[in-house]
Amino acid sequence: MIQDDSALADEKLVSRVLDGDREAFSVLIKRYQARMLRLGYGFYKNQDEAEDFAQDVFLKAYTGLAGFKGKSSFSTWLTKIAYNTGINGKKKSGRYEALEAEPADSRNLGPEELSIRKDSLESLRKAMAALPEKYAVCLDLFFAAGMKFEDISEVTGFPVNTIKSHVFRAKRDLRKALEETIL
């Protein structure tokens, strides 16, 4: 049952959960746990608190699922809950930072790829550090989560043009950093 569910669209899974199929929610957790943990690391910077954060976010999403109106995608809706949870977190450890870690599965990466990744990470961490604190998370949502400008604006409430200009500068710096590595 769950193996089949893993290929279903988010909205279908939400309908199933609302119909009382609790197991369908586990597919959504598996699908978004990496993003939630990453955001948790960004806010709290340690594994235990990141996991508590992810758990908190998923439970909030579950209890409030009837409030998901489908106006934005489920991933945007969930990320908005995570963002608000992170921003309002009382034990937040300083400013939001991109995680500095090896990929969970780096077995298939060659030295050049690891070097590109390291340069990308350094460049984006610098870009985040240069921004006012509240905008740092926008870069992670764009570069790490792969979200669109409109969706980031929906999550954070910042104007699209503000996000665009921060991403523009960060991407220009990233391109220049990679020019030295690759080209």
Partner 1 sequence: MTCRHFLELLDRMDNIDIQEEMTAHAAFCPGCAAELSAVMAGLRLYRLPDVCCSANLVPKIMAMLPLVPAPKRLVSMRNWVLAGLLIMGSVVLVPLMSDFRVLKETFGPAFTIPVSMAFGLIITIYLGIFVISHIDEFGRRLKAYEAVKSGKIA
For residues 74-113, which are near partner 1 according to CB under 8 A? Answer: 99, 101-106, 109, 113
**Spatial distance between the Cα atoms of 15 and 21, rounded to a whole number of angstroms:** 9
Which of 38, 44, 135, 154 contacts partner 1 by CB under 8 A? 38
Instruction: Find the shortest distance in angstroms from Cβ 165 to partner 1.
Output: 9
- Site for partner 1, residues 132 to 171, rule: CB under 8 A: 142-144, 146-149, 164, 168, 171
**Pair 149, 160: CB distance under 8 Å:** yes
Buried-state track 41-52, b at ≥16 Cβ within 10 A, e below 16 = bbbbbeeebbbe
Least Å from the CB of residue 181 to partner 1 = 8
In SS3 terms, 49-70 reads as: HHHHHHHHHHHHHHHCHHHCCC
Q: Does 65 bind partner 1 (CB under 8 A)?
A: yes
Residue 8 binding partner 1, by CB under 8 A: yes
174 scored as a contact of partner 1 (CB under 8 A): yes
Entry field: residues in the chain:
183
- 34 scored as a contact of partner 1 (CB under 8 A): yes
Of 24, 43, 44, 68, which lies in the binding site for partner 1, with binding defined by CB under 8 A? 68
Residue 2 Cα to chain centre, angstroms: 24
Closest CB to partner 1 among residues 18, 87: 18
Q: How far is CA 177 from CA 76, 90, 119, 136, 139, in A?
A: 30, 36, 7, 19, 16
Nearer to partner 1, 95 or 160 (CB): 160
Residue 23 or 133 having the CB closest to partner 1 = 23
Give me the least distance between CB of 85 and partner 1, in Å please.
Answer: 14
Is 164 in contact with 150 (CB distance < 8 Å)? Answer: no
**Of 57, 66, 53, 79, nearest in space to 142 by CA:** 79
Judged by CB under 8 A, the residue of 130, 133, 161, 172 near partner 1 is: 172
- The yes or no reply on residue 175 touching partner 1 (CB under 8 A) is yes
